[in-house]
Amino acid sequence: MTAAGKLRGMLRTGGMVRAPGVYDGITAKLAEQAGFPALYMTGAGTSMARGFPDFGLLTLTEMAGNAGMIARATNLPLIADADTGYGNELNVTRTVQEYERGGVAGLHIEDQVAPKRCGHLDGKELVPREEFVAKIRAAVAARRDPDFVIIARTDARGVTGLDDAVARANAALEAGADVAFVEAAATMEEVEAIPRRVRGPCLLNIVVAGKTPDIGLGEAEAMGYRIAIMPSLLLSTVMNACDAVLKTVRETDRPTSSAGQAPVSARFARFGADEWGALRTRFRAEPVA
């Protein structure tokens, strides 16, 4: 079964898909080994891993390349951020083709102007609803695998209000999107209202210290959400941990102690060292008598 088929199957079962945000091979492997069923490639994490803020500065090639790398690194279906689709309907068509070719299971395309900005920042601008819906139609038409999941993201809540966001989400679903993503609900009442008012499966974005209130995954599932992504779960944890250890080393002039740490070989083993090590001699010829 393809990765898209796996994700599609999860959406058909009725439970909520829980997808931690990852941005490289390390975070992808760790999330897989932790037992999660799916992954989400965070655009913010992908941008920050390259030294940029989440202001839409990365290109289609950079984003699709990172998504393909993550998809190859694990056996889990990957949902990936595709920003605004990187242009008009022509660019959206190529975006879907590149993501699908890379083994991604699904993507989301949003209705911000380009260059976009993180959905949990102020100052966002929107394209007209008709332009957004046209991009969704193009995305649906571009996929080769009918299981590839098209997610329509609207950032209208922070610009024109919740009513317009719901209207845009419903229009995108009518145009063929599989899932609606209403970004940055500001209150728990709005979080609860979205899956009631949107006429199709909904995705909830849970961002650490973002505009949406903190919520438990079980609580979100009970409200009717079908997917929950957690883009900053690992990113914020990694930043905090790195800040702490770097501060300690600067203040003490001593690197982290080896006591209680996994040996180097064990760390490598989590990334397939045993399997790759076996290939060193597997294909060598038998000694000549």
**274 vs 5: CA distance, rounded Å:** 29
pLDDT digit string (tens) for 144-165?
A: 999 999 999 999 999 999 999 9
Q: Give the SS3 label for residue 211.
A: coil
pLDDT digit string (tens) for 169-217?
A: 999 999 999 999 999 999 999 999 999 999 999 999 999 999 999 999 9
In degrees rounded to 5, what are phi and psi of residue 277? Answer: -60, -35
Q: Is residue 231 part of a domain?
A: yes
Q: Give the SS3 label for residue 175.
A: coil
Question: If you average pLDDT over residues 34-60, what whole number do you get?
Answer: 97
Question: If you average pLDDT over residues 103-113, what whole number do you get?
Answer: 97
pLDDT at 83 over 80: yes
In degrees rounded to 5, what are phi and psi of residue 63? Answer: -70, -45
Q: Is residue 280 part of a domain?
A: no
pLDDT digit string (tens) for 227-269?
A: 999 999 999 999 999 999 999 999 999 999 999 899 999 999 9
Distances (CA, A) of 48 to 30, 57, 73: 19, 10, 20
**Active-site residue set:** 40, 54, 81, 83, 108, 110, 118, 153, 183, 205
pTM: 0.94
Q: Give the SS3 label for residue 182.
A: strand
Q: Is residue 182 part of a domain?
A: yes
**143 vs 119: CA distance, rounded Å:** 26
- Assign residue 86 the CATH number of its domain: 3.20.20.60
Q: Is residue 249 part of a domain?
A: no
* Number of structural domains in the chain: 1
Q: Is residue 268 part of a domain?
A: no
Q: Is there a contact between 40 and 21 (Cβ–Cβ < 8 Å)?
A: yes
Q: Which domain covers residue 113, as residue numbers? A: 3-239
Across the strands, what pairs with 107?
A: 80, 150
Quickly state the pLDDT bin for 284 (edges 50, 70, 90): confident
